[in-house]
Amino acid sequence: MESSAAVLVEGLTKEYGPVRALDAVDLTVRRGEVFALLGPNGAGKTSLLRVLVTLTLPTSGSVEVFGHDVRNEASRVRALLGYLPQQLSVDGALTARENVWLFAGLYDIPWRERPARVSEALDRMGLTPAADRLTSTFSGGMVRRLELAQALVHGPRLLALDEPTVGLDPIARGDFWARIRELRDRDGTTVLLSTHYLEEAEDFADRVALLHHGKVQAVDTPSALESRLGEGSNLEDVFRSFASDDAATSGGWKDVRATRRTVQRVA
């Protein structure tokens, strides 16, 4: 019987040699929700996503995606999800259509279905007019929409997004999130993301998890977490309350966030 949860994480530990990136993490992501992972660099957000999308095996514990175990049913899990990594995942020497076609092949979409599926994915991201342009001519926002089209071409039930809007200007970020909202509202797509942009979590996430030193410190809605600290508190205050040692040693959360905003994903 399929699990009622989209993602179920129990006792997940991930070690890289002597470094414990995740330490007995328990987490449940409900179907159809937007769930955000927050935490400083090194908190374990990317490690959790990499285990989830079967890029690395857990050291111990378990992760299930719609009831399928990432260790024993990796192929089934990959068929259920789309993944947007931090790293650039398009080829600038190919057109947008060719890039999405390549992913359609990776997801084993039958040959006769590929033209329609590729065209649909491009259209949903507003890229039909630019479908036959080289990707090297795209803006950063267009590249991210193309990467989302790649991740959606096989109709996944879960989207895993690792820092999806880093380097995008405010207009491109707003456009990206409008499309994510449409996916959730129209298709019931579950979204699990990591982000350094606290305002994104406040505006778009149904619930958030705060990670620190590989452990989950708190899970709740943004408003519920803010209310714990009293009237007038925001999500940045909540973050600081759980990660104050990192704030003191790394220049503060605002400095980290400002630095991340200067990153350009596409030259």
CA 34-37-38 angle, to 5 degrees, is 130
User: pTM, whole model, 2 decimals?
Assistant: 0.86
Interior/surface letters 225-254, b for 16+ CB within 10 angstroms, e for the rest: bbeeeeeeeebbbbbbbbbeebbeeeeebe
3-class secondary structure, 39: coil
How far is the C-alpha of 6 from the C-alpha of 97, rounded, in Å?
A: 30
Interior/surface letters 66-105, b for 16+ CB within 10 angstroms, e for the rest: bbbebeebbeebbbbbbbbbbeebbeeeebbbbbbbbbbe
Q: Give the start-to-end residue ranges of the domains of the chain.
A: 5-89+158-261
Element (H, E) at 206: none
Tokens of residue 267, six digits:
């030259």
pLDDT in tens, the chain (267 residues): 456 799 999 999 999 999 999 999 999 999 999 999 999 888 999 999 999 999 999 999 999 999 999 999 999 999 999 999 988 899 999 999 999 999 999 999 999 999 999 999 999 999 999 999 999 999 999 999 999 999 999 999 999 999 999 888 889 889 999 999 998 999 999 999 999 888 889 999 999 999 999 999 999 999 888 888 777 777 888 878 777 665 434 444 344 344 444 444 443
5-89+158-261 belongs to CATH 3.30.470.20: no
